[in-house]
Structure 1
Amino acid sequence: MVLALDRINSLARRIPTGVVWVGAMIPFVWLVWAAATNRLGADPVKAIELRLGLWGLQFLLASLCITPLRKIGLNLLRFRRALGVMAFFYIAMHFLAWVVLDMGLRWDEILRDLYKRPYIILGMVGLLAMLPLAVTSTHAAIRRLGAARWRRLHQLAYVAAAAGAIHFVILVKGWPLEPLLYAGAVGALLLLRLRVPHKVRT
């Protein structure tokens, strides 16, 4: 087990972080192509919204897995920033798709939707929680804030993940398995976070 982890860590050190950035953009490029070529089914706007939101949640969960993986000896810390920033990108695009493509910038209807559909407010809470994380994702921001304050601020990622998972559960009617699995994954990560010793929390 230790030997396998050492090999994975050695391989990870040789992979440029740019590979993660480029790879993370592939789903977005595919989605643009699929939309342009009418390959998203009968309701392409809903398909765009769903895929963007789902990819954002997946990247966010991947970034939150970095700390518990370090506890077992798998060090992928150098990729966490790319995963977190790309999570914000996809979630922001998910929000813009709803505002622009779905609602057509009709602000009166947007406000009515916020009143009628509380899960939209939850989604906005998740997006707003991620905004300061994206803004402070640079080395310069870490130096200005200090490592301790930066770590405390970035605990908002768990707020964003919880809000996003609940948003997904409420959005998809009928209690299907997929959103419940995402909610369970967020719950498991929160429990692991509480059990990770302070000295390895980053």
Structure 2
Amino acid sequence: MKWLRSCWPEIVFNLAVLAPLAALIWDFSRGQLTANPIQAVQLATGRYALGLLVVTLAISPLVKFFNLGRLLPLRRPAGLYAFGYASLHLVNFVGVDYGFNFAAIFADVGEKRYILAGLGAYLLLLPLAITSTRGWMVRLGRNWERLHWLVYPVVLLAMTHFFWQTKADLRGPLAWSAVVVLLLAVRLAGLVRGFKRRG
């Protein structure tokens, strides 16, 4: 059982991330996803994608300030799961909601600017998912870390997407924004300290 003791964070994390998807599929198959199942899937997958992006940002500060080194191996799968949920979010919107009618989507962009913010976030997230393997890390060298700084504009675009598509109750977007701003402030403070040491 030694392997279980060493792998339990990964096991718990994977179960926690996949459980909402399993529940979503189960409810969808039984017709229990509210009166508008397409919207329910859209909102749920968007929330999970954003939440997992925030988790990827939070892991490094948690490791640094609270000595939670066991969380570090979860950063890559968190990012990949975020990409997975974002892909489901996109497919549900383009394929299920709009039936791959791109003319209708383009026609709606003017009134629904959140589409552009969401698409921008996804397009920036795509190369991060593709280059997440160890092989790409070796190929890109130092450029790999520079490329993966894109996670910050991805999160900012995702938050913009969230704000713009929220019609009334802004408490959710504001709460997420507070967390994101805190994490960005922590990261920025670390960068400033690093520059001062070099100077």
1:151 matched to 2:132? The reply is no
Q: How far apart are the structure 1 equivalents of 2:5 and 2:57?
A: 17
- Partner in structure 1 of residue 25 of structure 2: 32
Aligned: 1:61 with 2:78: no
Q: 2:64 aligns with which of 67, 71, 87?
A: 71
8 Å CA contact retained: 1:20, 1:82 = no
Match in the other structure for 1:5: none
| Cα drift, residue 176 of structure 1 | 2.2
TM-score of the pair, normalised by structure 1: 0.86
Determine the structure 1 residue equivalent to 2:38: 45
Give the alignment's TM-score, normalised by structure 2. Answer: 0.87
Counterpart residue type for residue 164 of structure 1: A
Q: 1:112 aligns with which of 107, 115, 118?
A: 107
Letter in 1 for 2:180: V
2:177 paired residue number:
183
Q: Is the 8 A contact 1:71 1:196 kept in 2?
A: no
What secondary structure sits across from 1:194 in the alignment?
Answer: helix
Change (3 A) 1:27 1:88: same
Shift of 1:12: 8.3
Change (3 A) 1:142 1:15: same
- Going from structure 1 to structure 2, the CA distance change for 1:12 and 1:159 (only over 3 Å counts) comes to farther
- Give the aligned residue type for 1:107: F
For residues 28-80 of structure 1, what are the alpha-carbon distances to aligned partners after superposition, in whole Å with 9 as ceiling and x for unaligned? Answer: 12111111111111111000000000000001100110111122122211110
Structure 2 residue 155 is the aligned partner of structure 1 residue 161 = yes
Q: 1:98 aligns with which of 93, 97, 110?
A: 93
| 1:3 counterpart residue number | none
Separation of aligned partners in 2, 1:23 and 1:30: 11
Whole-angstrom CA distance in 1 between matches of 2:184 and 2:128? 18
RMSD: 1.9
- The residue type paired with residue 75 of structure 2 is R
Quick one: percent identity of the two aligned structures?
34
SS of alignment partner, residue 110 of structure 2? helix
| SS of equivalent to 1:196 | helix
Structure 1: any 5+ residue segments left out of the alignment? 1-10
Alpha-carbon distance in structure 1 between the residues aligned to 2:117 and 2:27: 28
Cα distance between partner residues in 1 of 2:130 and 2:97: 27
Residues 83 and 12 of structure 1, relative CA distance in 2, 3 Å threshold: farther
CA deviation profile, 1:136-158 (whole Å, cap 9, x unmatched): 11111111111x32111111111
Name the count of aligned residue pairs.
188
